[in-house]
């Protein structure tokens, strides 16, 4: 409760509250259960498989949609069209790499079509967030060891305060102490006390961790300017920066970049290959060429909460040399 209250105070708008979960996958599943979603849920093809797992875990059906070239997420127009032409109860919109995108039109489209919207912003806790509009809307963060706010395993759901009880039930087998059953079921998605204690300790140092991450990314952004043909976000305050995503012009160039960096001792990851387009349990709303192309060209440059200035310089040196070694023009 103490950790929940502390996160609520720091990251919620008035009228909102954080509910903690065992991890973000359970948190998203609980959000869908609490919002009464049982049918078709739109999800992006370009995401980590947990997005889809959470829908299945909630007893709903994932419908995969392509993403947009510019934001790397589901566009408001694509969402609106899918809601207009399909039978979808909800959307699970991912904030790509925790780099905030404008979701106002997404919320409006869901309101128009009576759909719930859960924002999967797994790596995004720490960046300023817009208040949730009135309606069936929630946002979920991961506190996994790989995320900026890292406690081992954990999840946090930001919701309208009135929905906290439903979330608690959904995370506790459908049970709420002292209350009669309400006709909904639940999962075992509770955060253990020991994880909450770790969370309270992390919270004390989180400001310094964020500052270190932003310092690294601001130097990465400056270094990227020397190379043409790359796409990346250059607004520091849009993310707590789990990683620094950079889009290369072609799959061949990405493979060469990764190989050159690895030879120099730096692991650059490629996200999210494969996409969820043909993932077991998924139904496609249509082909997903943008997601597929992004997944073959996306490089994730490492960022750490305890990264030193010297490590940043070493990473930049390897990234620079590796990029300079390949020709950055579309094949």
Q: Interface residues for ligand PLP in 91-110 (CB under 6 A)?
A: 94
Report, in this order, helix, strand and coil percent for the chain, each rounded to 5.
Answer: 40, 20, 40
Cis peptide before 185 (omega within 30 of 0): no
Q: Taking CB under 6 A as the rule, does residue 48 contact ligand PLP?
A: yes
Task: Indicate the length of the chain as a whole number.
Answer: 331
CA within 13 Å, CB half, 38: 4
Cα gap 136→134, rounded to integer Å: 7
Minimal distance, residue 127 CB to ligand PLP, in Å:
15
Choice between 126 and 155, CB closer to ligand PLP: 155
Stretch near ligand PLP under the rule CB under 6 A, chosen from 48-56, 59-67, 164-172, 223-231? 48-56
Choice between 120 and 223, CB closer to ligand PLP: 120
Instruction: Write the CB contacts of 73 (distance below 8 Å, at least 6 apart in sequence).
Output: 44, 46, 67, 93, 94, 95, 96, 101
Q: Taking CB under 6 A as the rule, does residue 50 contact ligand PLP?
A: yes
Minimal distance, residue 155 CB to ligand PLP, in Å:
5
Minimal distance, residue 25 CB to ligand PLP, in Å:
3
Instruction: Write the CB contacts of 261 (distance below 8 Å, at least 6 apart in sequence).
Output: 267, 268, 318, 319, 322
Sheet containing 269-270: order of strands: 243-247, 298-302, 269-270
- Interhelix angle 50-57/24-34, nearest 10 degrees: 40
Among 11, 45, 46, 47, binds ligand PLP (CB under 6 A): 47
Contact code string over 6-25 relative to ligand PLP, x by CB under 6 A: -----------------xxx
Choice between 21 and 109, CB closer to ligand PLP: 21
Q: What is the bridge-based pairing of β-strands 269-270 and 298-302?
A: antiparallel
Partnered with residue 41 across adjacent β-strands are: 62, 90
Q: Distance of CA 53 to CAs 25, 47, 170, Å?
A: 7, 11, 16
Choice between 260 and 272, CB closer to ligand PLP: 272
Q: Taking CB under 6 A as the rule, does residue 144 contact ligand PLP?
A: yes
Choice between 40 and 51, CB closer to ligand PLP: 51
Cα gap 116→243, rounded to integer Å: 29
Sheet containing 137-142: order of strands: 16-21, 155-160, 137-142, 116-120, 90-94, 40-44, 61-65, 283-284
By CB under 6 A, the count of residues binding ligand PLP is 13
Choice between 48 and 232, CB closer to ligand PLP: 48
Q: Taking CB under 6 A as the rule, does residue 51 contact ligand PLP?
A: yes
Minimal distance, residue 308 CB to ligand PLP, in Å:
25
Cα gap 89→185, rounded to integer Å: 18
Among 89, 120, 139, 163, binds ligand PLP (CB under 6 A): 120
Q: Taking CB under 6 A as the rule, does residue 142 contact ligand PLP?
A: yes
Among 62, 126, 148, 155, binds ligand PLP (CB under 6 A): 155
Four-residue CA torsion sign, 254, 259, 263, 267 = positive
Choice between 217 and 223, CB closer to ligand PLP: 217
Choice between 107 and 141, CB closer to ligand PLP: 141
Q: Taking CB under 6 A as the rule, does residue 276 contact ligand PLP?
A: no
Among 37, 91, 119, 122, binds ligand PLP (CB under 6 A): 122
Structure tokens at 78: 């694509």
Choice between 52 and 254, CB closer to ligand PLP: 52
Q: Which residues bind ligand PLP (CB under 6 A)?
A: 23-25, 47-48, 50-51, 94, 120, 122, 142, 144, 155
């Amino acid at each position: 409760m103490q950790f929940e209250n502390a996160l609520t105070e720091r990251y919620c708008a008035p009228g909102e509250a954080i509910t903690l979960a065992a991890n973000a996958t359970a948190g998203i599943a609980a959000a869908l259960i609490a919002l009464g979603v049982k049918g078709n849920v739109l999800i992006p093809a370009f995401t980590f498989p947990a997005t889809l797992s959470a829908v299945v875990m909630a007893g709903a059906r994932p419908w995969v949609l392509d993403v947009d070239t510019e934001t790397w997420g589901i566009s408001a127009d694509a969402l609106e069209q899918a809601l207009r032409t399909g039978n979808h109860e909800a959307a699970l919109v991912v904030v790509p790499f925790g780099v905030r995108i404008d979701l106002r039109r997404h919320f409006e489209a869901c309101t128009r079509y009576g759909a719930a919207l859960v924002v999967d912003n797994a790596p995004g806790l720490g960046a300023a967030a817009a208040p949730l509009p009135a309606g069936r809307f929630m946002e979920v963060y991961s506190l996994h060891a790989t995320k900026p706010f890292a406690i081992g395993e954990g999840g946090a759901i930001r919701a309208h305060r009135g929905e906290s009880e439903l979330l608690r039930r959904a995370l506790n087998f459908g049970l709420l102490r002292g209350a009669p059953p309400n006709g909904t079921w639940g999962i075992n998605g509770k955060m253990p006390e020991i994880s909450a204690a770790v969370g309270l300790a992390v919270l004390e140092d989180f400001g310094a961790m964020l500052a270190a991450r932003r310092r690294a990314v601001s130097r990465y952004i400056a270094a990227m300017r020397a190379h043409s043909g790359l796409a990346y976000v250059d607004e520091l305050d849009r993310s707590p920066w789990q990683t620094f995503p950079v889009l290369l012009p072609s799959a061949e160039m990405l493979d060469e970049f990764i190989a050159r960096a690895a030879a120099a001792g730096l692991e650059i990851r490629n996200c999210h290959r494969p996409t969820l387009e043909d993932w077991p349990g998924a139904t496609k709303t249509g082909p997903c060429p943008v997601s597929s192309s992004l997944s073959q060209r996306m490089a994730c440059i490492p960022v750490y909460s305890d990264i030193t200035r010297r490590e940043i310089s070493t990473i930049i040196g390897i990234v620079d040399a590796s990029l300079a070694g390949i020709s950055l023009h579309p094949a």
